[in-house]
């Protein structure tokens, strides 16, 4: 096939891959992909469901003003605007005006089924003669109390006052911390108007929530300006953290990307006197990213945004291939064209790519789906980049080369420098000696951190505001929950009944401050039937109670509806009856979204109970261990534990990758010195980088580990190119220039991320920058020390 | 069955007990001559209000009416306190939308904001004593009659404008003389009725903070 044909075939291939990616592209921001440690699939699945739940999608707005009327007016206007927004699923700024009718319709006929969580024990004393006399007296007192008209309306059918009792329980459960003014929610101190907003997309979907929050802030700013700048809007919204993080990262990447692009353009113009070659050199990287993306879409049907970030960074290693090709094409006169240059550097590219592939693909063996995905992305990316480098790159490079270039002068200087080091091995040894010294000083004190906050920028003011609004409105910590799992609604509700019973005991014991449960709204059908059975099993309940009522001065004939109600057997209240009703906003946060297409945990019904003030976790855990299908779930603790496991697993996989690379190099070279030239600089560079971070007072996190993996990949590439050059007895000038260019490109491309405000990006940038520079210094030094006299000087 | 109406009724009953009282000639003469507007303007200017009451509730379920007696207090702008001394002591406090009820069995709090209808009725009482005629007119048809003979006083009949409320509350009728309330009759759609008669009415009552704190003390168990 001609060169033009190969270029055309490569282009067609890339277009097809790009087309496949465009058609099949589906991204997720689900961090739980990275937290599903082997053996913790259930926690991971539940965490995923929690992150998609209505509770996390609900934003709380708190509007304060010098007087409450103005705050209420402002909140009403914001609510009206939000209701028109397509991203918003629902807005609630006060109880539904039809709520009383809704409650009556839903609950009145079930009043005997929802009497007691422990009917066999608590109900019989209420229904003996003494209990009924007390109930009759209570009814008379109630008729003189503030709710007398309510009581009068139900007394004939419900003289036991089961329904008013049920209403009180529901009132406490629905909005425990809120007060109401003019039928609208206000904070308990009466200082702020409160609006709840449910969005139609998962909380971490910043793409949809960014414009929503921008519109909200814009609307509020206009209202505030009209009010003279006296209004204050505070929010509790997971969406805001996600949007803030994504916006900051995007801004950083754009700013740093521009700097990188300018730097690389200047570099190529100075070295190659060509801007066109930037495009040529970028082609393997583009191909690698496309192939990595396509592989993930093919295997998983979607890609995680974190895979794109970390996998993309790892694939950045392929920039070495075109740069070495171009350096040799530019400098070596005996290579008539770029194809000749490719033949010269191909052994190095092939081996470097193989080592990177083995090192990165080792990640694919990890138990974490997210890490596996990164391994697949990086492996496929390197393979794709190598294919494009070999098949098309030489034919895209112009036939004419500039002469007398800066590159020649730099290559000459580098070549002389390495030759000098080869002659003065003691001086060369100083470089790895310094690296070893740094390692010796820094590595013993190396610390790891599993604080998730180290990865993402969390504005302390935002956190404080979130806390203020949550304290003001919700009164519960959503990170600590109990989840009751069941194969269907009834099964889950039965377990939820038991959980509620246990938690009530813990509250009584002082081991728990309070909890909010679906149990306040609905019980299992079995418990409802038990209540009904106890009521109906009371001998002569109707006549005895009517007699007791008569003794209190009631007219016996007025209670026919009550006597008739004792014979009715309505079907139990179901969860579905509530979720589809006007109470749905209060009910749905307790029910995790279900997906029967996914795993066994996802397909089970999961009911959430929110906890506050767990002071005795051991007692809670012990109690829950007696309830099959009940799980205590601390999201923050789980996140940290998952992150810790992830970091350890990544560390192990990187270690295994190093061993695999070592074996590969040994099998290829069958020489200790050549293997050492290829591997030792990379290992020392990674160690030096970690040691410097430690000496600087830092602790290594997961991003640092990926940065170290990238350093190992690049460092081994550097070593391999040097070793291949030495083995072939060629001039080291072009190779050294390639290394300098590769290093500079990496520092410009990734190292500049050290300027980012995002801790994760900053960690990746700093690690990469320190590591590749260390590799660049160590590679020639180790080569000089270990070069074999029988091959002559590498610079010859 | 309509809970909203029932809750509203409850509060109407609460409010209703706050009106009425015996006539004092020096107060009645001024207000009777100036019609509803002037009467409510005079209420608006009141520093406070207190009275004793006797209440009789005729309830279809009961063979005999329920009777109670006690005192009622109003401190502008929105505080109403109703103390029942017998036969069963209790305390009811209505401050804006917050209603607190205490008796020997404990204290319960209700947020009237949860029920717009109940809230409207609850504020009827404070609207009258605060002289807020526009709000009363928003909720009720108002029939005001005033006798040409000053000693016969005036009569305000409130009929809910909303048809749903009208089914629950047929009418509320307040009688008085000047700023002194004589009685209040609440007739419900069900046929039940509450009649509250007031005595020892003091429409110039001024409350210090310490007085209010004293009023708010729950009854002894």
Q: Give the separation between CA A119 and CA A376, rounded to whole angstroms.
A: 57
Strands (DSSP E) along A161-268, which ranges? 179-181, 184-186, 192-199, 232-236
Asked if B90 and A144 come within 8 Å (Cβ–Cβ), the reply is: yes
- Measured in degrees and rounded to the nearest 5, phi and psi for residue A255 equal -60, -50
Is the CB of residue A512 less than 8 Å from the CB of residue A539? no
pLDDT in tens, A742-793: 888 888 877 777 877 777 778 888 888 899 899 999 998 998 888 765 555 4
Select from A360, A357, A269, A295 the least CA-distant residue to A321. A357
Residue of A nearest to B188 (CA): A149
**Least confidently predicted of A400-409, A414-423, A733-742, A748-757:** A400-409
Quick one: pLDDT at residue A366? 64
Residue of A nearest to B96 (CA): A181
| Mutual angle of helices A369-391 and A635-669, in 10-degree steps | 40
Contacts A–B by Cβ distance under 8 A: 126
**A594-605: average pLDDT:** 68
> Per the domain annotation, does B221 fall within a domain?
no
* Eight-class DSSP state of A573: P
Q: Residue B213: which residues within 8 A CB-CB, separation 6 or more?
A: none
> Per the domain annotation, does B166 fall within a domain?
yes
Residue B7 — very low, low, confident or very high, per pLDDT cuts 50/70/90?
A: very low
Q: Give the separation between CA A659 and CA A675, rounded to whole angstroms.
A: 12
Residue A367 — very low, low, confident or very high, per pLDDT cuts 50/70/90?
A: low
**A30-43: average pLDDT:** 61
Quick one: pLDDT at residue A529? 95
> Per the domain annotation, does A301 fall within a domain?
yes
> Per the domain annotation, does B56 fall within a domain?
yes
Q: Does residue A44 have a pLDDT over 60?
A: yes
Residue A739 — very low, low, confident or very high, per pLDDT cuts 50/70/90?
A: confident
Q: Give the separation between CA A441 and CA A692, rounded to whole angstroms.
A: 9
- The CATH code of the domain that includes B115 is 2.50.20.10
Asked if B59 and A182 come within 8 Å (Cβ–Cβ), the reply is: no
**Least confidently predicted of A196-210, A259-273, A464-478, B151-165:** A464-478
The answer to whether A144 contacts chain B (CB < 8 Å) is yes
Asked if A101 and B7 come within 8 Å (Cβ–Cβ), the reply is: no
Residue A120 — very low, low, confident or very high, per pLDDT cuts 50/70/90?
A: very high
The answer to whether A164 contacts chain B (CB < 8 Å) is no
Q: Does residue A638 have a pLDDT over 60?
A: yes
The answer to whether A152 contacts chain B (CB < 8 Å) is yes
**A241-264: average pLDDT:** 76
Question: Domain span at residue B169?
Answer: 3-215
Quick one: pLDDT at residue B6? 37
> Per the domain annotation, does B220 fall within a domain?
no
> Per the domain annotation, does B106 fall within a domain?
yes
> Per the domain annotation, does A465 fall within a domain?
no
**A159-188: average pLDDT:** 78
Alpha carbon of A187: minimum distance to chain B alpha carbons (Å)? 13
Q: Does residue B3 have a pLDDT over 50?
A: no
| Average model confidence (pLDDT) across chain B | 77
- The CATH code of the domain that includes A306 is 1.20.1640.10
- Measured in degrees and rounded to the nearest 5, phi and psi for residue B202 equal -125, 100
- A180: nearest CB among B60, B113, B188: B113
Is the CB of residue A699 less than 8 Å from the CB of residue A447? yes
Percent of chain A topping pLDDT 90? 27
DSSP readout, A659-691?
A: HHHHHHHHHHH--HHHHHHHHHHHHHHHHHHHH
Q: How many domains does chain A have?
A: 1
| 3-class state of residue A738 by DSSP | helix
Asked if B7 and A141 come within 8 Å (Cβ–Cβ), the reply is: no
Q: String of b and e for B22-33 (b: at least 16 CB within 10 Å)?
A: bbbeebbeebbe
Quick one: pLDDT at residue B31? 43
Alpha carbon of B152: minimum distance to chain A alpha carbons (Å)? 31
Quick one: pLDDT at residue A495? 95
Residue A15 — very low, low, confident or very high, per pLDDT cuts 50/70/90?
A: very high
The answer to whether B162 contacts chain A (CB < 8 Å) is no
Per-range mean pLDDT, top range of A108-117, B106-115, B159-168, B179-188? A108-117
Neighboring chain B residues of A558 at a CB cutoff of 8 Å: 60-61
Q: Residue A254: which residues within 8 A CB-CB, separation 6 or more?
A: none
Is the CB of residue A717 less than 8 Å from the CB of residue A779? no
Which of B63, B100, B114 is best to mutate for the A interface (most A CBs within 10 A)?
A: B114
Percent of chain A topping pLDDT 70? 90
**A154-176: average pLDDT:** 82
> Per the domain annotation, does B163 fall within a domain?
yes
Quick one: pLDDT at residue A439? 93
- State the Cα angle at B209 between B22 and A189, rounded to 5°: 115
Is the CB of residue A779 less than 8 Å from the CB of residue A680? no
Q: Give the separation between CA B174 and CA B18, rounded to whole angstroms.
A: 10
Q: Does residue B26 have a pLDDT over 70?
A: no
Quick one: pLDDT at residue A383? 92
> Per the domain annotation, does A374 fall within a domain?
yes
The answer to whether B58 contacts chain A (CB < 8 Å) is no
Q: Which residue has the tokens 């521009």?
A: A258
Which ranges constitute the DSSP H helices of B96-193?
116-129, 133-139, 163-168
- A180: nearest CB among B64, B114, B192: B114
Question: Domain span at residue A384?
Answer: 1-34+273-403
Q: Give the separation between CA A301 and CA A298, rounded to whole angstroms.
A: 6
Residue A308 — very low, low, confident or very high, per pLDDT cuts 50/70/90?
A: confident
- A148: nearest CB among B13, B60, B114: B13
Tokens, residue A543: 């006549």
> Per the domain annotation, does A702 fall within a domain?
no
> Per the domain annotation, does B28 fall within a domain?
yes
Alpha carbon of B76: minimum distance to chain A alpha carbons (Å)? 18
Quick one: pLDDT at residue A337? 74
Strands (DSSP E) along chain B, which ranges? 49-58, 66-75, 79-86, 90-95, 98-103, 106-111, 140-146, 154-160, 169-177, 180-188, 193-202
**B79-84: average pLDDT:** 89
- State the Cα angle at A617 between A616 and A621, rounded to 5°: 125
> Per the domain annotation, does B20 fall within a domain?
yes
Asked if B64 and A180 come within 8 Å (Cβ–Cβ), the reply is: no
Quick one: pLDDT at residue A532? 93
Q: Give the separation between CA A189 and CA A177, rounded to whole angstroms.
A: 10
Residue B1 — very low, low, confident or very high, per pLDDT cuts 50/70/90?
A: very low
Tokens, residue A774: 């260390």
Tokens, residue A134: 């007390």
Asked if B116 and A104 come within 8 Å (Cβ–Cβ), the reply is: no
Q: How many domains does chain B have?
A: 1
CB proximity under 8 Å: B 63-102 to A: 63-64, 66, 68, 84, 88, 90, 92, 96-99, 101
Element (H, E) at A486: strand A477-486
Q: Which residue has the higher pLDDT, A537 or A27?
A: A537
* Eight-class DSSP state of A591: B
Asked if A554 and B110 come within 8 Å (Cβ–Cβ), the reply is: no
């Amino acid at each position: 096939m001609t060169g033009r044909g190969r270029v055309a075939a490569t282009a067609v291939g890339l277009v097809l891959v790009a087309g496949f990616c465009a058609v099949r592209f589906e991204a997720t921001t689900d961090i739980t992909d990275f937290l599903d440690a082997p053996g913790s699939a259930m926690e991971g699945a539940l965490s995923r469901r929690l992150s998609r739940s209505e509770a996390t999608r609900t934003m709380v707005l708190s509007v304060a003003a010098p007087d409450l009327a103005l705050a209420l007016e402002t909140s009403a206007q914001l609510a009206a605007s939000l209701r028109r927004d397509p991203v918003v699923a629902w807005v609630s700024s006060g109880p539904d005006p039809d709520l009383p009718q809704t409650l009556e319709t839903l609950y009145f006929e079930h009043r005997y089924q929802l009497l007691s969580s422990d009917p066999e024990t608590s109900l019989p004393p209420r229904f003996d003669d003494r209990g009924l006399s007390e109930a009759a007296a209570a009814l008379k007192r109630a008729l003189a109390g503030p709710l007398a008209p309510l009581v009068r309306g139900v007394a004939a059918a419900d003289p036991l006052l089961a329904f008013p009792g049920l209403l009180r329980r529901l009132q406490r459960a629905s909005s425990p911390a809120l007060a109401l003014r003019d039928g609208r929610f206000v904070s308990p101190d009466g200082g702020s108007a409160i609006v709840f907003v449910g969005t139609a997309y998962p909380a971490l979907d910043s793409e949809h929530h960014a414009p929503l929050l921008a519109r909200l802030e814009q609307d509020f700013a206009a209202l505030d300006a009209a009010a003279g700048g006296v209004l204050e809007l505070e929010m509790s919204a997971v969406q805001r953290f996600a949007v803030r993080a994504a916006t900051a990262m995007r801004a950083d990447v754009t700013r740093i990307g521009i700097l990188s692009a300018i730097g690389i353009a200047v570099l190529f113009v100075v070295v190659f006197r060509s801007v066109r070659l930037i495009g040529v050199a970028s082609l393997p990287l583009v191909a690698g990213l496309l192939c990595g993306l396509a592989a993930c879409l093919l295997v998983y049907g979607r890609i995680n945004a974190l895979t794109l970030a970390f996998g993309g960074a790892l694939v950045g290693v392929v920039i070495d291939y075109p740069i070495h090709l171009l350096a040799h094409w530019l400098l070596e006169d005996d290579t008539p064209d770029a194809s000749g240059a490719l033949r010269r550097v191909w052994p190095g590219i092939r081996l470097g790519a193989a080592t990177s592939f083995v090192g990165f693909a080792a990640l694919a063996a990890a138990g974490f789906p997210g890490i596996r995905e990164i391994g697949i992305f990086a492996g496929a990316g390197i393979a794709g980049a190598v294919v494009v480098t070999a098949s098309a790159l030489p034919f895209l490079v112009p036939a004419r080369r500039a002469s007398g270039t800066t590159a020649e002068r730099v290559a000459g200087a580098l070549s002389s420098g390495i030759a000098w080091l080869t002659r003065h091995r003691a001086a060369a040894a100083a470089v790895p000696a310094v690296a070893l010294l740094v390692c010796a000083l820094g590595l013993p004190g190396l610390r790891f951190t599993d604080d998730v906050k180290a990865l993402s920028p969390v504005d302390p003011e935002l956190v404080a505001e979130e806390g203020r609004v949550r304290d003001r409105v919700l009164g519960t910590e959503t990170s600590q929950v109990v989840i009751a799992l069941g194969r269907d609604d009834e099964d889950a509700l039965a377990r939820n009944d038991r959980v509620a019973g246990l938690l009530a005991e813990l509250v009584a014991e002082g081991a728990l401050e309070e909890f909010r449960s679906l149990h306040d709204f609905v019980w299992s059908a079995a418990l409802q039937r038990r209540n009904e059975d106890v009521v109906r099993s009371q001998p002569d309940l109707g006549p005895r109670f009517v007699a007791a009522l008569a003794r209190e001065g009631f007219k016996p004939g007025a209670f026919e509806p009550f006597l008739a109600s004792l014979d009715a057997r309505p079907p139990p209240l179901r969860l579905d009856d509530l979720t589809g009703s006007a109470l749905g906003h209060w009910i749905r946060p307790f029910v995790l979204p279900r997906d029967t297409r996914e795993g066994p945990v996802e397909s089970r019904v999961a009911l959430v109970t929110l906890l506050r003030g767990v002071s005795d976790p051991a007692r809670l855990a012990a109690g829950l261990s007696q309830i099959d299908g009940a799980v205590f779930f601390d999201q923050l603790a789980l996140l940290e534990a998952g992150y810790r496991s992830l970091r350890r697993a990544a560390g192990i996989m990187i270690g295994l990758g190093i061993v695999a690379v070592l074996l590969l190099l040994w099998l290829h070279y069958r020489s200790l010195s050549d293997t050492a030239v290829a591997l030792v600089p990379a290992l020392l560079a990674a160690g030096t980088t970690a040691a410097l971070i430690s000496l600087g007072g830092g602790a290594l996190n997961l991003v640092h580990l990926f940065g170290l993996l990238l350093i190992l990949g690049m460092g081994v590439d550097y070593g391999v190119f040097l070793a291949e050059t030495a083995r072939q007895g060629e001039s080291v000038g072009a190779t050294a220039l390639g290394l300098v260019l590769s290093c500079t490109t990496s520092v410009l491309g990734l190292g500049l991320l050290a300027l980012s405000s995002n801790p994760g990006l900053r960690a990746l940038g700093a690690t990469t920058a320190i590591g590749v520079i260390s590799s660049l210094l160590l590679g020639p030094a180790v080569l000089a020390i270990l070069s074999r006299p029988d091959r002559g000087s590498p610079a010859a | 069955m309509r809970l909203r109406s029932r809750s509203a009724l409850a509060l109407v009953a609460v409010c209703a007990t706050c009106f009425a009282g015996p006539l004092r000639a020096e107060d009645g003469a001024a207000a009777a001559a100036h019609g509803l507007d002037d009467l409510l303007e005079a209420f608006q200017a009141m520093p406070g209000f207190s009275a004793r009451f006797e209440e009789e509730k005729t309830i279809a379920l009961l063979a005999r009416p329920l009777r109670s007696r006690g005192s009622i207090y109003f401190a502008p702008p929105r505080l109403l306190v109703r103390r029942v001394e017998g036969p069963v002591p209790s305390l009811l406090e209505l401050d804006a939308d917050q209603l607190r009820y205490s008796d020997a069995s404990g204290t319960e709090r209700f947020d009237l904001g949860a029920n717009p209808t109940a809230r409207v009725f609850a504020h009827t009482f404070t609207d009258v004593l605060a002289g807020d005629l526009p709000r009363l007119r928003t909720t009720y048809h108002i029939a005001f009659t005033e006798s040409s003979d000053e000693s016969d006083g005036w009569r305000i009949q409130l009929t809910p404008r909303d048809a749903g409320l009208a089914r629950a509350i047929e009418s509320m009728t307040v009688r008085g003389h000047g700023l002194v309330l004589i009685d209040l009759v609440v007739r419900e759609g069900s046929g039940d009725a509450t009649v509250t008669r007031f005595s020892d009415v003091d429409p110039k009552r001024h409350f210090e903070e310490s007085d209010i704190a004293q009023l708010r003390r729950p009854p002894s168990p």
